[in-house]
Amino acid sequence: MRLLFLGTCKFEDRSSGKISNPFEDIKDCLDLGDIIFLNMDGIISSRDFLTGDKLKSDGEQLLSLKRLVPHIPIVVNFKNDVVLQHGVKGLKDTEKFLAKHDFVFNIGVLRPLVYGNLCMFNFTDLELLNNLDAMEYTVPVNINHTYNDVLSRVVKSHRKPFRRIVVCLKFKHKRIFDYTNFDDLAKKLVENGADVVFGYGSSNIPLRKSCFRHQGGLIIRSLGDLVNCNVDPRKIYINKGEMCLYNTVSKQSHILEISRHMVEDCLLPKF
């Protein structure tokens, strides 16, 4: 089985721009995966919120991905520090949308998502959780301390023959190119049974080494943004990005390099 890991996606309402399908230029890459993993910052809802439209979309851009590869299951990981950006109603609307359109996502918090022979955990760096209520929907992790043995034991307890364990971990970048704390935690998770630790955050800085191997496991530090329709005018966005293809049988990985360009104030991928 081939797992295709995409960079972070931040969508917008299709009506607010001209970008109906942000994935159309990378379809050849998408066809390489048997399962696609996508980290989404934001929620999907048709409501008007007093909190505004930032990190809110109508879901049409995400649906365009499913239309491109209708035969491939798509895992959408959205329960992180911004899950309550628009309150509990925004969260529930997102769950309803994903369930209606047959996306794969985790309903629970402490229990991992089990899909076939895949077991998926979702953790979020405690330093990102400004809204403490969000802890009800994601597992907080302090990657700057060493008390994470409990999490490692939880991961280890789900190890089974032929099962592959994926841990998604959103973390805060403290300094450019300094991934020491993330690397230490990711290595510990691999040593206790994780096959892939999929890290992601807010950095658009190109990494010297975005992925590396440790005791047979794959550690992805960050793939950056794949689609970003909520660009920050104060940031400089580089014109390169990556996706990662991982074979669960051979445990080999391959980096797919892509270009990124601005269209209608959206950062979009191109292969």
56 with 45: CB under 8 angstroms? yes
Q: Check whether 263 has a pLDDT greater than 80.
A: yes
Per-residue pLDDT band for 4 (boundaries 50, 70, 90) equals: very high
Of 166-170, 212-216, 237-241, where does mean pLDDT reach its minimum? 237-241
Q: Which two tokens stand for residue 157?
A: 């307890």
Domain that holds residue 79: 2-270
Residue 162 CB burial class (10 angstroms; 0-12, 13-18, ≥19): exposed
Q: Which two tokens stand for residue 25?
A: 């230029």
pLDDT for 243: 94
CATH of the domain at 68: 3.60.21.10
Most confident of 12-21, 49-58, 76-85, 141-150: 76-85
93 with 46: CB under 8 angstroms? yes
Instruction: Give the full edge-to-edge strand order of the sheet including 266-270.
Output: 8-10, 225-228, 266-270, 253-263, 240-247, 2-5, 35-39, 74-77
pLDDT for 146: 56
Give me the number of domains the chain comprises. Answer: 1
C-beta neighbour count of 114 within 10 angstroms:
12
Our CA dihedral for 75, 162, 3, 66, rounded to 10 degrees, sits at -40
**Percent of the chain scored above 90 by pLDDT?**
55
pLDDT digits (tens, 9 = 90+) for 126-151: 888 888 888 888 888 887 765 567 78
pLDDT digits (tens, 9 = 90+) for 75-133: 999 998 888 888 899 999 999 999 999 999 987 777 899 999 999 999 998 888 888 88
Instruction: Give the torsion sign (CA, 134, 135, 137, 141).
Output: positive
Q: Check whether 204 has a pLDDT greater than 70.
A: no
pTM (two decimals): 0.92
Report DSSP letters for 204-216, one per residue. -SPPS-SEEEETT
155 with 121: CB under 8 angstroms? yes
Q: Which two tokens stand for residue 238?
A: 């580089």
